[in-house]
Amino acid sequence: MVEPLFYSENINTATVGATAVLSGPEAKHAVSVRRMQVGEAIQLTDGLGTRVRGTVLATTSSALELSVLEFIQEAKPALEITLVQALAKGDRDELAIQAATELGVSAVIPWQASRSISRWDSAKEVKGRARWQQIVNEAGKQSLRAFWPVVQASVTTSALAKALGEYDLVLVLDTTATKLLADVSVPKQGAIALVVGPEGGIEASELESLQAAGAQLVSLGTNV
């Protein structure tokens, strides 16, 4: 059985053989919800690449102590994938970023597409990003990742098009595309952006703008 993973902000200075303490809401979750017991294996991460493995030494209602058995500073993946996810109705966008995190994306950018029914003004931007980051963090824990994606500021289509030059490859999912995603030659290292539109699809003018900036249109196939 793989040991469960919990978030701890200050573990980058942990040393093997020493004692580390998990506190706050994460400790409460570990003790009260996951029912972690003395002697059980546990993992901690700061979401920035640090992973600590250890054994539970003691628990209280608000803290958990563990003996550090292993300290790992993981390297960033050679290929970093950014998901550009359009704001969507209901929880569709949230389900998308959750699944993408579990599959290994490195960053998430909310996109205010023309056909996005949901809209973030300045107040909603703060709450929306915080909500998305919470979902991403939980998905990172569930998938036992040491690197968690950062939810960046939302972008308009024009801002997105200007930013595409930062990537080695940009793929836009679109049902009208003739090229299949499975047929794309993906580099082994570098930066990729995957753009996903809202439930109503991406406007033709937006597709043109993204293509002019270097993006390729791809389809998942007729059955998706």
Q: Give me the pLDDT at residue 2, please.
A: 85
Residue that is written with structure tokens 């996810």 in the block: 85
Whether residue 224 is predicted with pLDDT greater than 70 in this model: the reply is no
**Reading across the β-sheet that carries 63-73, which strands appear in turn?**
5-7, 41-45, 50-59, 63-73, 19-23
AA identity, residue 23: S
Confidence band of 61 (pLDDT split at 50, 70, 90): confident
Read off the pTM.
0.92
Map out the domains of the chain with their CATH numbers. 5-73 (2.40.240.20), 79-218 (3.40.1280.10)
Q: Give me the pLDDT at residue 37, please.
A: 95
Nearest residue to 223 via CA among 191, 182, 165: 182
Q: pLDDT tens digits for 16-40?
A: 999 999 999 999 999 999 999 999 9
Write out the two tokens for 56. 């539970």
Whether residue 204 is predicted with pLDDT greater than 70 in this model: the reply is yes
- Provide mean pLDDT across the span 107-133: 94
Q: pLDDT tens digits for 86-119?
A: 999 888 999 999 999 999 999 999 999 999 998 9
Confidence band of 223 (pLDDT split at 50, 70, 90): low
Q: pLDDT tens digits for 146-183?
A: 999 999 999 999 999 999 999 999 999 999 899 999 99
Residue that is written with structure tokens 């996903």 in the block: 196
Q: What is the mean pLDDT of the chain?
A: 95
Whether residue 77 is predicted with pLDDT greater than 70 in this model: the reply is yes
